[in-house]
Structure 1
Amino acid sequence: MNFFQEFHRAFLGGFTAILCEYLVPNNQVPSGVRSFFYGMTGTCAGILVILGTPLVSRLGYFHVIRYNFTWKVVGGIVMYLFIGSSNPWLIMLFILVDTTFTGGTAGFFNMPVSDICDEDMEKYDRRHPITSTVFGSNALVTKPAQSLCPMLVVSILNRYGYEEVKHGSASPAEINELESVMFQLICFFPVILGVMQYIAWSQFTIRRRILERYVPEEPI
């Protein structure tokens, strides 16, 4: 599950500018708005973590993270079937929301990992939690996503003539085909990853409210 989240973050972080270069024409979106959009994709996730902490405290991280997976699936399907690639403003909005939710909820992923450490300590009556082992294993699994994602996306783009389009040697039909593939990547990446994450997350049975356990409310 964490692997797919990191995979999604790598896709959004590494290819948003490339995809918007072709799907968001300069004559429809001013350069100033485009620059502001790129800046917001890097800051909104952090804002969401700050603003979303009370929600996690109230609902628990399990439901908040699962809502994110639901958004990926529903948002990608709605974007592809009902909105389409003809509205660059909605494409930018979708990417911004997807980037914000994906990056923001990733900040909560350490909560279930910590719960796994505590559950293991209680279950096997350990004197100390195996925190370093669990977090190390998690990093070992998720780090390859940062390399595999660019390799996969670049191979897909090159298969549909990205290099030719970039060097100006492609026909209008090839350009349209590449833009169609780019739009499908924007829509289907969240759907596919969201489905796999939702299935994997449904198997997680340690559903504690971390903030309620470790940060109890103090009377005023």
Structure 2
Amino acid sequence: MTLFFGINRPALAYSMTTLGAGMMNHIFNFYYVKLFLNRYKISEGAFHQAQVVFMIWNAINDPLFGYIQDNSKSEFCSIRRRSILFGAPFYALAFLIPWFPWKDYSEGEWLSGIHLVVALCVFDGMLTFVLLAQCALFTEISTKHESRLQLIKYNQVASLLGSSSILFCGIVSDNMENIPRFQTFTICLAVLSAACMCYTGMFGVSQYEQKYLESNSHSDTSLSWTSVLTLTKQILTQKNFLLFVSMNFFQVFHATFCSNFMMIFADNLIPKDALPSIVRSIMYGAGSIFPQFLVLISHSLLLNIGYYKVILWGFYVEVISAVLMFLIGPQHYYILATFLVTNMSPLSSMVFGTNALFTKPAQSLAPMFVVTILNQYGYEHLTNKADQPDPNLFLGLHDTMFYLTCLVPLCIALIQIVIWTPFSIRSSHITK
């Protein structure tokens, strides 16, 4: 790999897509639920319908785009950096879809539901198209172990920087209280993110591409459908694979729950005079930055005790912390704020990916589950100034939010302990 003033240029080019995508993805997942529920006042039925459509699309677009990119004869799809280069502007435009209403929505208007469907499906489609190309680019840039370690290091730093977008967005927009500033920030972020990914598209040249351009032909490496089905059957019958996927499903559910509702719960459970706006912005930012920081400092721990024990101990920590928070109660605001931050970054997040086909439904089921419960306690009336509901109703709502904050992580961690205990690959960290 070429070094320029001490900078590994191929690794830098590769990691720029991680930086651009990370900045947009954190903002999207953190704010879209609150925006559609509180500002656009989408109905519960329309919200659920949008999530069901998204769940279906979310499950099929990965293999669909993967097949297209692997089997297309067009350089636009088959050369990874060009997929990123041409996909980046559309990815950035898709990121902007939710933040600009198509009209002044009235409460429960059907158009807000269509808006949510389009926002979720288009954004996830472009995310998949670009990031699948980036994943393939990782293996094609170099086959050397040392070079790939450099890619990983640069990528982890880029993930850390990308996760800071929530912090800066909160400071600029007063945690989305100032919508014009929020919209201006998202436009600037989209431009910056597109520029980062285009840098990958221009300079992320792989060995595969060089060979492809020299020969100007593809080798026939595509698998037949019979081979694909046989391999799939072999994978699905592996006990450890089923345990890992089941574990990862609940991990994605937990991560989605935290990302989508941390801001909503904090705004309602912690009075505005208890935590100033700047402190809230730091709290929200820390919730996304801290997990990336854990990844950077966890390598020695993983090498010494292995993934299995780190994951299992992480689940026990989640159980203990959730129980303690439940016993302490919601009146201690700084303790609650700390719990919300740490709840977004359990130790097990360091070793679980979130893109497996079988885990993607959790990204839709988590918001559907929580919104259904919240609306049963009057959440849909919370921001409606026209209504004057009984204040005692909101006390019940706040109690429900606190119970969800504690009990969802507790129950998920207990389920994960039961699933993870029989996992048999436990000493891979000492295998030479």
Q: What is the TM-score when the length of structure 1 is the normalising length?
A: 0.80
Residue pairs, 1:112-127, within 5 angstroms: none
Q: 1:153 aligns with which of 365, 370, 377?
A: 370
Match of 1:123 in 2: none
Q: Is the 8 A contact 2:291 2:349 kept in 1?
A: no
Letter paired with 1:5:
Q
Equivalent pairs counted in the alignment come to: 184
Please give the alpha-carbon distance, in whole angstroms, between the structure 2 residues aligned to 1:166 and 1:154: 15
* TM-fit CA distance, 1:176: 0.5
Deviations 1:95-136 (A, max 9, x none): 1111122xx5323136xxxxxxxxxxxxxxxxxxxxxxxx9x
Identity %: 36
Residue 70 (str. 1) matches residue 319 (str. 2): no
Work out whether residues 57 and 209 of structure 1, in 8 Å CA contact, stay in contact via their aligned partners in 2: no
2-side partners of 1:109 and 1:175: how far apart? 37
Give the deviation of 1:94 after TM superposition.
0.5
**SS of structure 2 residue aligned to 1:100:** coil
Q: Give 2:421's aligned residue.
A: 202
In the alignment, is residue 96 of structure 1 matched against residue 341 of structure 2?
yes
Q: Which structure would you say has the larger RCO, counting Cα contacts within 8 Å and 6 or more residues apart? A: 1
CA shift, 1:167, in A, is 1.3
- What is the rounded CA distance, in whole Å, between the counterparts of 1:109 and 1:77 in structure 2? 24
Could you give the per-residue CA deviations for residues 36-74 of structure 1, whole angstroms, max 9, x where no partner exists? 111111111000011111101101111100111111211
How far did 1:90 drift? 0.7
Residue type matched to 2:331 in 1? S
Is residue 249–residue 360 contact of structure 2 (8 Å, CA) maintained in 1?
yes
Specify the alignment match of 1:125 in structure 2.
Answer: none
| Alignment-mate amino acid for residue 384 of structure 2 | H
Partner-residue secondary structure (3-state), 2:271: coil
1:87, distance to aligned residue in structure 2 (A): 1.2
Is the contact between residue 2 and residue 109 of structure 1 (CA under 8 Å) also seen in structure 2? Answer: yes
Partner of 1:178: 397
Q: How big is each residue's C-alpha offset from its partner over 1:151-189, in whole Å with a ceiling of 9 and x where there is no partner?
A: 000000001110112214322100110000000000001
Q: Distance in 1 between matches of 2:403 and 2:383?
A: 19
Structure 1 residue 11, shift from structure 2 partner: 0.3
- Letter of the 2:259 partner, please give it: G
Contact 2:254 2:412 in 1 (8 A): yes
Aligned to 2:289: 43
1 CA distance for matches of 2:277 and 2:352?
35
**Any runs of at least 4 consecutive aligned residues in structure 1 with deviations exceeding 2 A, and if so which?**
104-107
Contact residue 49 and residue 105 of structure 1 kept, 8 A: no
Q: Which entry has the higher C-alpha Rg, 1 or 2?
A: 2
| Aligned equivalent of 2:213 | none
Distance 2:383 2:334 in 1: 23
- 2:350 counterpart of 1:107: yes
Measure how far apart 1:213 and its partner are: 3.8
> How large is the RMSD of aligned CA atoms in angstroms?
1.6
C-alpha distance in structure 2 between counterparts of 1:164 and 1:12, whole Å: 22
State the partner residue of 2:279.
Answer: 33
Give the AA of the match of 2:292: G
Structure 2 residues not aligned, in runs of 5+: 1-246
Q: Offset of 1:209 from its aligned partner?
A: 3.0
Distance 2:335 2:419 in 1: 30
SS in 1 for 2:419: helix
What secondary structure does 1:93 align onto?
helix
Q: Secondary structure at the match of 1:26?
A: coil
Cα distance in structure 2, aligned partners of 1:75 and 1:200: 20
The equivalent residue for 1:129 is none
Q: Distance in 2 between matches of 1:200 and 1:105?
A: 14
Cα pair 1:72 1:194 within 8 Å, conserved = yes
Distance 1:165 1:41 in 2: 25
2:386 matches 1:141? no
